[in-house]
């Protein structure tokens, strides 16, 4: 079984208008005359391919950014609109549960039962387990909304996304956590909501590491050693996460895998962006840790990009199942491979939810 710790399923359904019950190839065919998004007719993620790849558990997001006047990023002009957008995304997840496509996982008992069923029951169509995460906390109107979110199943939050946020600054921005951000972390700790350190700018990252005493992971991140950008983690940051017993999910976005990527111009083939680049990042984290216990998969393969911006030897998310043999070829043991593909995330969750 494979666990993928970062997919934007509801964004693809509600904003890209993709029916994820159809195959990737059916969705591509339906989009062949659309040009409003760069990844039209190039998507890689849908429920049939998740099942074919034996990807039985995912961390699935809600996402809705607040953009203040003058902020050029796409998003919503009030926190209330952003909250409403996340609630529409939640409604879609619930409809997919009603259809038998997915199943929400919120505690250790549900997790263990789902894993046992996925790994040992080979009959019929199995529901894909999902853990609900919020990418960017802008839609949390005020701190008391966090309890409401926990009650409907939210179990992880990344306080920032791109640019300046209401609680924390993210990728391509700078600045320490503001007072609301510090209160957010306190309430997350009280509720035992996992802190997703992904996308925090360096200032906010170090603030969070100093202030937050709960469980930390990085759902989809890569190494600054290979691509020198603030979206990536420095070795110092990786070592701190290892010390916190975190797991870092390897992301599959091409610009995070190869240096000098030019958005809209570069292509995976010409940049020699392949799955080996993902393995390089996984291996670097393992070398820093001295073991294979702190890295997993967090592909982000539906994060507003598709075939035009992912490893050229990956056709759909089903191809995550190429990773085990590649790790074995690098000298990793069968146990190491099992840990990277699902064991590390399971260990993390069982400890967080015990």
End-to-end Cα, the chain, rounded Å: 22
Q: What is the pLDDT of residue 138?
A: 97
Is 287 buried (19+), middle (13-18) or exposed (0-12) by CB count in 10 A? exposed
Q: What is the pLDDT of residue 69?
A: 85
CATH code, domain carrying 219: 3.20.20.140
Rounded Cα–Cα distance for residues 84 and 75 (Å) = 12
Domain count, the chain: 1
Q: What is the pLDDT of residue 286?
A: 98
Residue in the structure block whose two tokens are 């990277």: 340
Q: What is the pLDDT of residue 114?
A: 98
The segments of the chain whose pLDDT lies below 50 read: none
Rounded Cα–Cα distance for residues 156 and 60 (Å) = 10
Q: What is the pLDDT of residue 313?
A: 98
Q: Which domain holds residue 47?
A: 2-352
268 within 8 A of 311, measured Cβ to Cβ: yes
CA-nearest of 216, 161, 164 to 185 is: 216
Q: What is the pLDDT of residue 70?
A: 85
Copy the structure tokens of residue 206. 């170090």
Rounded Cα–Cα distance for residues 221 and 196 (Å) = 10
- Residues 94-133 as b/e (b if ≥16 CB within 10 A, e otherwise) read eebeeeebbbbbeeeeebeebbeebeeeeeeebbbbbbbb
Q: What value, to the nearest 5°, has the Cα angle with vertex 151 and ends 163 and 206?
A: 35
pTM of the predicted model as reported, rounded to 2 decimal places: 0.97
Copy the structure tokens of residue 122. 């080979």
Q: What value, to the nearest 5°, has the Cα angle with vertex 162 and ends 247 and 173?
A: 100
Strands 154-158 and 102-104: unpaired
For the CA atoms of the chain, what is the radius of gyration?
A: 19
Copy the structure tokens of residue 130. 């999902």
């Amino acid at each position: 079984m494979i666990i993928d710790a970062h997919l934007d399923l509801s964004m693809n359904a509600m904003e890209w208008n993709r029916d994820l019950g159809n195959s990737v190839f059916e969705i591509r065919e339906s989009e062949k005359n659309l040009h409003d998004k760069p990844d039209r007719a190039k998507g890689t993620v849908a429920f049939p391919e998740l099942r074919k790849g034996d990807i039985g558990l995912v961390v699935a997001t809600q996402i809705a950014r607040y953009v203040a006047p003058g902020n050029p990023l796409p998003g919503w002009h009030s926190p209330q609109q952003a909250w409403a957008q996340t609630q529409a995304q939640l409604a879609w997840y619930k409809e997919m549960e009603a259809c038998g496509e997915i199943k929400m996982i919120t505690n250790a008992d549900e997790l263990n039962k789902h894993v046992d069923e996925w790994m040992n029951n080979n009959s019929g169509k199995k529901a894909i387990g999902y853990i609900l995460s919020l990418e960017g906390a802008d839609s949390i109107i005020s701190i008391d909304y966090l309890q409401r979110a926990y009650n409907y199943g939210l179990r992880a939050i990344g306080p920032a996304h791109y640019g300046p946020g209401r609680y924390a600054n993210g990728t391509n921005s700078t600045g320490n956590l503001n007072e609301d951000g510090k209160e957010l972390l306190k309430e997350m700790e009280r509720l035992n909501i996992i802190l997703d350190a992904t996308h925090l700018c360096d200032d906010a990252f170090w603030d969070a590491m100093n202030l937050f005493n709960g469980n930390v992971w990085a759902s989809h991140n890569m190494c600054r050693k290979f691509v020198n950008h603030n979206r990536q983690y420095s070795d110092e940051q990786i070592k701190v996460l290892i010390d916190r017993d975190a797991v870092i999910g390897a992301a599959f976005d091409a610009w995070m895998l190869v240096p000098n990527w030019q958005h809209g111009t570069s292509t995976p083939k010409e940049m020699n962006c392949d799955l080996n680049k993902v393995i390089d990042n996984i291996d670097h984290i393992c070398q820093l840790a001295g073991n294979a216990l702190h890295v997993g998969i967090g592909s982000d393969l539906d994060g507003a990009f598709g075939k035009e911006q992912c490893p050229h030897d990956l056709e759909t998310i089903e191809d995550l199942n190429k990773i085990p043999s590649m790790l074995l070829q690098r000298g990793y043991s069968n146990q190491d491979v099992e840990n990277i593909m699902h064991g590390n995330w399971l260990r993390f969750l069982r400890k967080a939810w015990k």
